[in-house]
Structure 1
Amino acid sequence: MKTRLSLIAMSLMLASNAIAAVPGDDLSDGLNAKSYGQFVKTLSSDEFAGRLPATQGETKTLAYLTEQFKRLGLKPGFGDSYLQSVPLVAITSHPSALTLGKLKLAYLHDMVINSPKAVADTQINNADVVFVGYGIHAPKLGWDDYKGIDVKGKVVVMLVNDPGYATGDQRFDGKAMTYYGRWDYKFDEAARQGAVGALIIHQTAPASYPWSVVENSWGGTRYGLAGEDTPKSEFSGWITEAAAKKLFAQAGLNFDKTTAAAAKAPLAKSLKAKASVTIQSDVKNTESHNVMAVLPGQTDETVIVTAHWDHLGTDPSHKDDPIYNGAMDNATGTAGLISLAQSLKGLYEGDHKPHRSVAFLSVTAEEQGLLGSKYYVQHPAIPLGKTVADLNMDSLNVFGPTKDMVVVGQGKTSLETQLTAALKKQGRVLVPNNRPEAGGYYRSDHFNFAKAGVPALYTGGGSQPWDADIAKYRAMMQKRLKGCYHNACDEYQDDWDLRGALSDLQVYHDVIEALATSRDWPSWQPGAEFSRPAQATE
């Protein structure tokens, strides 16, 4: 693979005010700050209107990605098309009332609730309200918050995260959030138990994000996969910690003591309140799309690289800035797909193509619960038994080069071997996620591949700045972007130092090349909760 160190160094200087090339080995041809920065800037521009599925923002995004993949000469991933239709139902809920006993909760201020069902009117009258601890049903772990209580027809209230966060309980992987701590698991389990409503108590530390993220992520149109027949409660959502404390006090319970007890052992208690809910919803069947392009190898064994293209769209009520541009989340990752296609294309020119193919999959509706990747895994264009691995990118590093790289979900797959080798070329090291309590491994699109048994790798930008100058820049940029996750200030910055993202993309390039030229199959490590599909050719 030829390199162009001098040209790349020059482009890095022009695009990110850099004064030195990316630390470590030379970058592959095709990875440069000028083109990468332009991809990010375009995808996160106001013209793309926040990239909400089934809007004009999607139309522009699909056209742009298709144009870039065609420009690079990549093969369409879905027969003769780059697009896979994903049937969705769009539900815009308008809650007018939520009362819990004597408490009347205000929408957005005290609570955010939605109807997950495709119905115009939701009305709940005088349903019993029950606290069910963490809302976890895991008999194999010796934990069942629903044991001995019938919640059919009732509204359940539960804590965010899992008991391990509060107590270090190793059944729940200590401080690291397990899937039992995720909101989607909790809502699904409440529905399986027959609850008519499910409310999660928001607390910033165990949730890993502030209430503003709940407002912005849950306050608008929500999507689901059309035609799903999984159980759903009549409504689900979040209440603030302040509202929860009033609810507990109303029942004669001390919030802190009760929740502390719930972290030590399964706990269910009546909150001595009746819930009444009124929601009107606008329901629309629609469709969105996944986008995939392929570099064909000698066989149909395929390495898939994923990144979600969608974000939150617009909110006209925010007069000053109504567009959620989603520059970091996830224009950086989507731009990374294009850049990796550029850098890997040279491997697939001529008569000596690698043994394996590489597919670049940009999925929809990640922000709605990983729906695009869920649909793809249910309807794969490449059989899962022929899918070697999934490498996922979500919010790449704009804080400058680092000495390290974070692996989310350390120890789950053998892919860390290739990752460590690629980092060594740059003089960098692999480190575990320093915030495992955020549950990152269960929060992005690789998780659907993992659940289906495909070894999946998810990384994050490191935390150790390469030098003192980068440390100063990093501190400044982190301060500037604080609170921008799922907010309107997640916008492209002309002074971003993109060398961190580019050096991480080079690592991915090297891992993909190693997998594409190998005949070995990555595996799940002992103790991981996943296993490879039986039909895989190993």
Structure 2
Amino acid sequence: MMANQSIKNFIAVCLLIFTGSSLQAQYVSDITYPDKSAKIISDASLPNVKYGNTITTEDMKKQLFEIASDRMAGRETGYEGNVLAGEYIKSQLQSWGVKPPKGMNDYFQPIALTYTSWDKTIVKLGEKVYRNLWDFVALPGKNNEILAQTINEVHFLGYGIQDKGQKDYSGKKVKGKTILINEGEPMLNDSVYALTGTTKPSDWTLDKKIELAKKKGVSLILVVPTDIKATLNDNRRFVLSPMVELENSVGKKIDGPNVIYISSGLARDIMGESGVAGLEKARTEMAAKGKFKKLVFTPVLQLEFTKNQRLIEGRNILAFFEGSKKKNETVIVSAHYDHIGKRGDVIYYGADDNGTGTTTLLEFAEALAKAQKDNALPERNILLLWMTGEEKGLLGSQYYAEHPIIPIDQTVVDVNIDMIGRQDDKYEKKNEKYYIYTIGSDRLSTDLHKINEDINNKYSQLILDYTFNSESDPNRFYYRSDHYNFAKKGIPAIFFFSGVHKDYHQPGDTPDKIMYDKMERIGRHAFQLMWELANRPERIKVDGELKP
């Protein structure tokens, strides 16, 4: 699953607050407990039961120990381990006689990806050299190269805000200049924001400040965050690994000013002793007048930032099973097969994230291949879709949604599986493992929600926890896995997820810690849901509207 900090770079979330009312959408957010007195349907003469029963803990364990092995080296998109994982999936599909969709010569959907990292990062004041990721942080995908240059003029603009209550740009000409601003916005006290007069911040995000600076013609923004270590942690995957973009963007210029986060120590050094004294005086005046007077520092600031860019090929993997009747309607089951690779010599195995989803789709492929040989496939087509680049920002699913192999209007639903093999703290404390967080089921289709509940009562009897389906969920999980790119196209999507645990995005996410009986139960549930969606008389209805 995509890490939480990357949401800021993936979607813009706007909450509208009204006195006494809210326009926030209301979705199911409770917990459904199964009726233990109900008898589970287990008649193996039924094709859905017969082929669903071929999904076993033994097979899942065997597959997952391969997917999350040392050889796969964490499966990071753009690296050898990811390629090896793709080839392994292909070899399994070939061994079962599974075919790619019509019109494809191979199982792979190639995706052009641009990897960008810093080749050189130099920040000096006189002879003093500052340390990257300690004294300053710059995101390579959000900045243009800075060829060796010396800056002798830095304009201090407070918070970089121009508003009726904060006029940091008033009387200042900064076209082509370097500005220094504080992160955040002024506070009246520890909890009340000056611009709103409430405990809620204004809409002056850093992105809005950058857009204003762009309009003013600013060349470079030096941002002083409250805590540069926290800034580094929030952007860790963008600075410790190359930033990845869809398509060929080698040499592409960023439209706007460069942005470098700097420590408070570096900021003080740029100001110099007289500048710090001037700043204190300016702050006193700002408190009285609501604006900063003109402050210009004159350091000898030397900068050089050069990039290393490479174009690589990522690959989605597709397996297709043609339906017996409704050949213009397709059910998609998806899972991302990439993870975050290695850090130095340390492998991040990604067994749960998302070796479990990857393996579950392999089990589906084998089961459906058996059904195909028996001429027993359901009425609609089924597309199994292993996606790459999820950890880089849902890139594989974004590419597929924008370049679909199956037309969007023929795509009925996406059933997405991401992390189904462990417990989170909540259920570990309850000593309960047969649960699944169910996200998105009622967002676009009430049919989908009802069918999933019905399938659970008949075949699975899992605890269906909708906590993370709430629009007020601070984790924003609905927006953090690949199903979201299908939902944006108006395709109903449901996401199965067993929660975050202590080994999430850590080297300890290994296959020996997976609860394979839990994984089998959830995998069989998803299989029964897929079969019902592919075999029911009527296509599920879209009766909801996406509210980002």
Q: Work out whether the TM-score is over 0.5.
A: yes
Q: Deviations over 1:340-397 (max 9, x none)?
A: 2234445444345322111111112122222222221221111111111112222223
Task: For residue 96 of structure 1, give the secondary structure of its aligned residue in structure 2.
Answer: strand
* Structure-2 separation of matches of 1:405 and 1:462: 8
Q: Sort the Cα spacing of 1:268 and 1:403 in 2 relative to 1 into closer, same or farther, 3 A.
A: farther
Contact 2:144–2:258 at 8 Å: present in 1 too?
A: no
- One of 405, 413, 417 as aligned partner of 2:444: 413
- 2:539 counterpart of 1:520: yes
Q: How big is the shift at 1:237?
A: 7.9
Over 3 Å counting, the alpha-carbon distance change for 1:344 and 1:448 in structure 2 is: same
- The aligned amino acid for 2:467 is P
Structure-2 change in CA distance of 1:121 and 1:322 (3 Å): farther
> For 2:499 and 2:450, how far apart are their aligned partners in 1?
18
Check the 8 A contact 1:407/1:459 in 2, yes or no. Answer: yes
Residue 478 (structure 2) aligns with: 441
Partners of 1:51 and 1:57 within 8 A in 2: yes
For structure 2, list consecutive stretches of 5 or more residues without a partner in the other structure.
Answer: 1-38, 43-48, 162-167, 186-190, 193-199
Of 348, 355, 359, 2:379 maps to: 355
The 5 Å alignment of 1:115-514 reads 115-116=140-141, 214-216=235-237, 218-227=239-248, 278-297=304-323, 298=325, 299-316=327-344, 321-399=345-423, 402=433, 404-409=435-440, 411-414=442-445, 415-425=448-458, 426-427=460-461, 428-433=463-468, 436-461=473-498, 478=501, 482=502, 484-492=503-511, 494-514=512-532
1:44-63 equivalences in 2 (<5 Å): 44-63=68-87
Q: 1:420 to 1:64 in 2, by over 3 A?
A: same
TM-score, scaled relative to structure 2: 0.65
Match of 1:31 among 55, 70, 77: 55
Whether contact under 8 Å (2:379, 2:534) holds in the other structure is: yes
CA contact 1:39–1:335 (8 Å) conserved in 2: yes
Q: CA deviation at 1:293?
A: 0.7
Q: Distance in 2 between matches of 1:507 and 1:58?
A: 28
Which residue in 1 is equivalent to 2:138?
113
How many residues align structurally? Answer: 444
Letter in 1 for 2:464: V
TM-score computed with the length of structure 1 as normaliser: 0.66
CA drift at 1:491: 2.5
| Match of residue 74 from structure 1 | 98
Aligned 8 A contact 2:53 2:524 in 1:
no
Partner SS, residue 141 of structure 2: coil
2:121 aligns with 96
Within 2, Cα distance between the matches of 1:305 and 1:157? 46
1-side partners of 2:535 and 2:204: how far apart? Answer: 38
Amino acid at match of 2:542: S
Q: 1:284 to 1:211 in 2, by over 3 A?
A: closer
Give the secondary-structure state (helix, strand or coil) at the position aligned to 2:245: strand
How far did residue 56 of structure 1 move?
1.8
Q: Secondary structure of 2:523's match?
A: helix
Q: Residues 110 and 316 of structure 2 are in contact (CA less than 8 Å); yes or no, is this contact kept in structure 1?
A: yes
- Tell me, yes or no, if the aligned pair for 1:122 and 1:280 is still in contact at 8 Å: yes
CA-CA distance at 1:410 after TM superposition: 6.5
Counterparts of 1:181 and 1:327 in 2: how far apart (Å)? 40
Deviation, 1:521, is 2.9
Q: Per the alignment, do residues 107 and 353 of structure 1 end up closer, same or farther by CA in structure 2, a change over 3 Å counting?
A: same
User: Could you tell me which amino acid in structure 2 is paired with residue 91 of structure 1?
Assistant: T
**Conserved 8 A contact 1:75-1:296:** no
C-alpha deviation, 1:53, in angstroms: 2.4
Q: Which has the higher relative contact order, 1 or 2, with Cα contacts under 8 A spaced 6 or more apart?
A: 2
Of 413-422 and 375-384, more deviation after overlay is shown by 413-422
1:506 deviates by 1.9
1:7 alignment counterpart: none
| Secondary structure of the corresponding residue to residue 248 of structure 2 | coil
Q: Does 1:85 align with 2:110?
A: yes
- State the distance in 2 between where 1:147 and 1:457 align: 47
Given that residues 131 and 270 in structure 1 are in contact (C-alpha distance below 8 angstroms), is that contact kept between their aligned partners in structure 2?
no
| Structure 2 Cα separation of the partners of residues 351 and 214 of structure 1 | 51
Aligned identity (percent) is: 24
Letter in 2 for 1:520: R
